[in-house]
Structure 1
Amino acid sequence: MKKSKLIMGLGVAAVAGALLVAADHIDAPGSMGTTADIADFYAFEPTEGSDNTVFIADLQSNVVDGLAYGTFDENILTEINIDSDGDLVEDLVIQAIPRDGVMYFFGPAAPSATGLSGQILVDMPLGSVAISGDTEVIETTADGVSLFAGPRQDAFYFDFFRFNEVLAPSPEDNSGFNVPGEDTFDGANTMSIVVEIPNSMLGEATATNVIGVPVYNTWLTTNVKQ
């Protein structure tokens, strides 16, 4: 199984704060409640004019604060896919897979296969970091790559219950959404994987976003061991 969430044109040199987001909280029954379930994917510059890009993969969106945190499944490979020539096929991948409380990262490098299958790029280690619990752990490699894996507050803001009321066949109140709404995901966590990486390791961006800034095409997939 390989699930994809496509995000077109995230910035190599994007203006500060500009990003695109794909959200799909609580997915199909086969992956729901596991770290194969992709909730959100973000890519952005950490600061204006930075030469780095930050990728954030939020997985397993129903990790409720105050309960036991979820865990990363050791049979799940998370892959950040980067298209650098505009054909919407991954040219580089950054991989993350957990083992015994540590998240191991590989790449960025050309994948062994594109599309629905792939292998861990064991010959291209990027670094590793202890999976955070109550204490945040961030590891920075000699190449200037910063890594994190662990629970984070869910950044997705959505009034899920009001949304369902509006969509109901015969809503009691047809006035639409409340302003301000109520954040259904407030107090919930995701299991997050974060990579901040120098753009020099990602190659040239060949796409352009709507404001004329050079960007990558990038998307996230999760692969289950067969």
Structure 2
Amino acid sequence: MKKTRKLLVGLGVLAVAGLVLIAADHIDAPSSAGTSADIADFFAFEPSEGSDNTVFVVDVQSNVLPDLAYGTFDEDVLTEINVDLDGDLVEDVVIQAIPRNGRMYFFGPAAPSQTGLTGTVLVDAPLGDVEISGTTAIVETTSEGVSLFAGPRQDPFFFDFFQFNAVINPDVNSAPRGFSTPEEAEDTFDGANTMSIVVEIPNSLLGSPTATNALGLTVYKTWVTTNRKQ
């Protein structure tokens, strides 16, 4: 998962051009932990076999335990989906999302004016926007057939967090039986939510995928970054 340092330019109607942004990582950067700069999961898939669309799902980890189940999107965090179309592991088009006043605004797909760790990003290409959901999911579909969602979703991660910590404890008596069996394991994150950003987009707007995955299927090479202003 690539992390970048970029300069945000030209957000048009949001009037936040010129903000300096830094990349985030998942949990291991104290400045991003517990904020929506903290990337939890990234999924890219066809919504159905043979579909001409691709779905991108970005889960950012705001609060992970059940008693902190609902979080918010930080307005100083830009989320960017990067797509490589020619196999050089450099983004050719990007889709960006940034929240303002209870709505998530999307831009792209657009070619960035520069790429790499010190590049500037072309974001002057509005894609659409959607109200950030609460307990009821709200989806907006644009005239180009792009579906947009932003809001809390059930955390897809199954992890017996406390047993894991017991196993890695230097005290050998902490977990004498090792990891729990599937039947005994507890999902620590059951009932917790991530804050999700979802884009379903026609492939015709992205360009043709050129990579081949382990199953022999043609796919996009794609990764996600979060960038937070300093």
Structure 1 length normalisation: TM-score? Answer: 0.84
Separation in structure 1 between the aligned mates of residue 108 and residue 27 of structure 2, nearest angstrom: 29
Separation in structure 2 between the aligned mates of residue 139 and residue 68 of structure 1, nearest angstrom: 24
Change (3 A) 1:120 1:98: farther
- Superposition map of 1:1-226 within 5 A: 3=3, 26-65=27-66, 67=68, 69-116=70-117, 117-119=119-121, 121-122=123-124, 124-172=125-173, 173-180=175-182, 181-226=185-230
How many Å apart are 1:202 and its aligned residue?
1.3
Separation in structure 1 between the aligned mates of residue 210 and residue 55 of structure 2, nearest angstrom: 18
When the two chains are superposed, the root-mean-square deviation of aligned CA atoms in Å is: 1.9
1:16-52 deviation per Cα after TM superposition (whole angstroms, max 9, x unaligned): xxxxxxxx85342110111111111111111122111
Aligned AA (2:153) = R
Separation in structure 2 between the aligned mates of residue 196 and residue 86 of structure 1, nearest angstrom: 22
Separation in structure 1 between the aligned mates of residue 161 and residue 67 of structure 2, nearest angstrom: 21
Separation in structure 2 between the aligned mates of residue 68 and residue 44 of structure 1, nearest angstrom: 26
Change (3 A) 1:164 1:63: closer
1:148-189 deviation per Cα after TM superposition (whole angstroms, max 9, x unaligned): 001111011111111111112133234322122211111111
How many Å apart are 1:135 and its aligned residue?
2.2
Change (3 A) 1:118 1:185: farther
- What is the match of residue 10 of structure 1? none
Identical counterparts, % of pairs: 71
Q: Point out the structure with max Rg over C-alpha.
A: 2
How many Å apart are 1:67 and its aligned residue?
4.5
Q: Does the residue aligned with 2:196 lie in a helix, a strand or coil?
A: strand
Unaligned runs of 5+ in 2: 5-24
Q: Does the residue aligned with 1:169 lie in a helix, a strand or coil?
A: coil
1:92-142 deviation per Cα after TM superposition (whole angstroms, max 9, x unaligned): 1000001111100011110122123434612x1111000111221100111
Structure 2 length normalisation: TM-score? Answer: 0.82
Unaligned runs of 5+ in 1: 5-23
Aligned residues: 205
C-alpha contact (below 8 Å) 1:26/1:61 kept by paired residues: no
Separation in structure 2 between the aligned mates of residue 214 and residue 193 of structure 1, nearest angstrom: 24
Separation in structure 2 between the aligned mates of residue 120 and residue 152 of structure 1, nearest angstrom: 29
Change (3 A) 1:118 1:174: farther
Separation in structure 2 between the aligned mates of residue 118 and residue 224 of structure 1, nearest angstrom: 14
Greater shift, 89-98 or 105-114, is seen at 105-114
Q: Does the residue aligned with 1:62 lie in a helix, a strand or coil?
A: coil
Change (3 A) 1:61 1:26: farther
Separation in structure 2 between the aligned mates of residue 151 and residue 164 of structure 1, nearest angstrom: 27
Q: Does the residue aligned with 2:63 lie in a helix, a strand or coil?
A: strand
Separation in structure 2 between the aligned mates of residue 25 and residue 166 of structure 1, nearest angstrom: 22
Aligned AA (1:215) = V
C-alpha contact (below 8 Å) 1:41/1:58 kept by paired residues: yes
